[in-house]
Structure 1
Amino acid sequence: MTFHQLTYVVEISKCGSINKAAHKLHLSQSGISSAVRELEEELGIQFFRRSNRGVEFTPEGKEFLSYAVSLLEQKQRIEGLYGQNRNAAAPERFSVSTQRYPFTEDAFLRMLQATQESRFRFSLKETGMDAVIDDVYDHRSDIGVIFLTELTEKMIRRLLDARELVFHEIASVDPCIYVRKDHPLAGRESVSEEDVEGYPYVSFEHAQGVAADFSEEYPEMSLRRPDRWIHVNNRATMMNVLAGTDAYTTGSGLLVENFISQAVVTVPLVGKSPVHIGWIVPRGARLSHRAEQFIRLLEDSVADSIQFTARLHRSMTKPQSRYTDLNPTKRSSP
Structure 2
Amino acid sequence: MTLQQLKYLVTVAECGSITAAAEKLYISQPSLSTSIHSLEKEMGVTAFIRSKKGITITHEGEQLLSYARMLLEQADNMKDHFGKGKKRTPKFSVSCQHYSFAVNAYVDLIRHFDSDQYSFILRETQTGEIIDDVANGRSEIGILYLSPDNEAILSKMIKNKDLQFIELFVADPHVFLSADHPLAHKDIIEIDDLIPYPYLVYEQGEQNSFYFSEELIPMLDFPKNIQVRDRATLFNLLIGLHGFTVCSGVIDQKLNGDNIIARPLHFSSQMRIGCIVRKHTILSPYASFYQEALKKHLSI
1:284 aligns with 2:280: yes
1:294 paired residue number: 290
How far apart are 1:263 and its partner, in Å? 1.1
3-state DSSP class of the match of 2:205?
coil
How far apart are 1:69 and its partner, in Å? 8.2
2:228 to 225, 232, 237: 232
1:170 to 165, 168, 182: 168
How far apart are 1:150 and its partner, in Å? 1.3
The one-letter code sitting in structure 2 at the alignment partner of 1:224 is L
The one-letter code sitting in structure 2 at the alignment partner of 1:280 is I
Q: Is the 8 A contact 1:187 1:267 kept in 2?
A: no
3-state DSSP class of the match of 2:142?
strand
The one-letter code sitting in structure 2 at the alignment partner of 1:77 is K
Unaligned stretches of 5+ in structure 2? 1-14, 28-85
1:246 paired residue number: 242
1:71 paired residue number: 18
How far apart are the structure 1 equivalents of 2:118 and 2:206?
36
How far apart are 1:153 and its partner, in Å? 1.1
1:200 to 192, 198, 214: 198
TM-score by length of 2: 0.71
3-state DSSP class of the match of 1:194?
helix
Over residues 12-48 of structure 1, what are the superposed CA-to-partner deviations in whole Å (9 max), with x where a residue is unaligned?
A: xxxxxxxxxxxxxxxxxxxxxxxxxxxxxxxxxxxxx
The one-letter code sitting in structure 2 at the alignment partner of 1:119 is Q
3-state DSSP class of the match of 1:95?
strand
Going from structure 1 to structure 2, the CA distance change for 1:271 and 1:217 (only over 3 Å counts) comes to closer
Going from structure 1 to structure 2, the CA distance change for 1:94 and 1:185 (only over 3 Å counts) comes to same
How far apart are the structure 1 equivalents of 2:244 and 2:230?
15
Over residues 72-110 of structure 1, what are the superposed CA-to-partner deviations in whole Å (9 max), with x where a residue is unaligned?
A: 222212229xxxxxxx97623211111111100000001
Over residues 97-136 of structure 1, what are the superposed CA-to-partner deviations in whole Å (9 max), with x where a residue is unaligned?
A: 1111110000000111112433321111110111110000
1:270 paired residue number: 266
1:191 paired residue number: 189
How far apart are 1:246 and its partner, in Å? 1.4
Q: Is the 8 A contact 1:180 1:245 kept in 2?
A: no
The one-letter code sitting in structure 2 at the alignment partner of 1:211 is S
Unaligned stretches of 5+ in structure 1? 1-67, 81-87, 305-334
How far apart are the structure 2 equivalents of 1:215 and 1:209?
9
How far apart are the structure 2 equivalents of 1:199 and 1:242?
10
The one-letter code sitting in structure 2 at the alignment partner of 1:132 is I
How far apart are the structure 1 equivalents of 2:280 and 2:237?
42
How far apart are 1:142 and its partner, in Å? 0.6
How far apart are the structure 2 equivalents of 1:140 and 1:293?
19
Q: Is the 8 A contact 1:94 1:122 kept in 2?
A: yes
TM-score by length of 1: 0.64
Percent identity at matched positions? 28
The one-letter code sitting in structure 2 at the alignment partner of 1:219 is I
How far apart are the structure 2 equivalents of 1:174 and 1:237?
24
3-state DSSP class of the match of 1:107?
helix
Which has the higher mean CA deviation after the structures are superposed, 135-144 or 200-209?
A: 200-209
How far apart are 1:290 and its partner, in Å? 1.4
1:36 paired residue number: none
2:6 paired residue number: none
Q: Is the 8 A contact 2:105 2:290 kept in 1?
A: yes
How far apart are the structure 1 equivalents of 2:22 and 2:185?
57
3-state DSSP class of the match of 1:279?
strand
3-state DSSP class of the match of 1:258?
helix
1:119 to 117, 130, 153: 117
The one-letter code sitting in structure 2 at the alignment partner of 1:103 is F
Rg larger in 1 or in 2? Answer: 1
1:258 aligns with 2:238: no
The one-letter code sitting in structure 2 at the alignment partner of 1:241 is L
How far apart are the structure 1 equivalents of 2:103 and 2:191?
29
Q: Is the 8 A contact 2:199 2:244 kept in 1?
A: yes
How far apart are the structure 1 equivalents of 2:220 and 2:133?
32
The number of residue pairs the alignment matches comes to 228
2:214 to 213, 216, 225: 216
Going from structure 1 to structure 2, the CA distance change for 1:136 and 1:197 (only over 3 Å counts) comes to same
The one-letter code sitting in structure 2 at the alignment partner of 1:234 is D
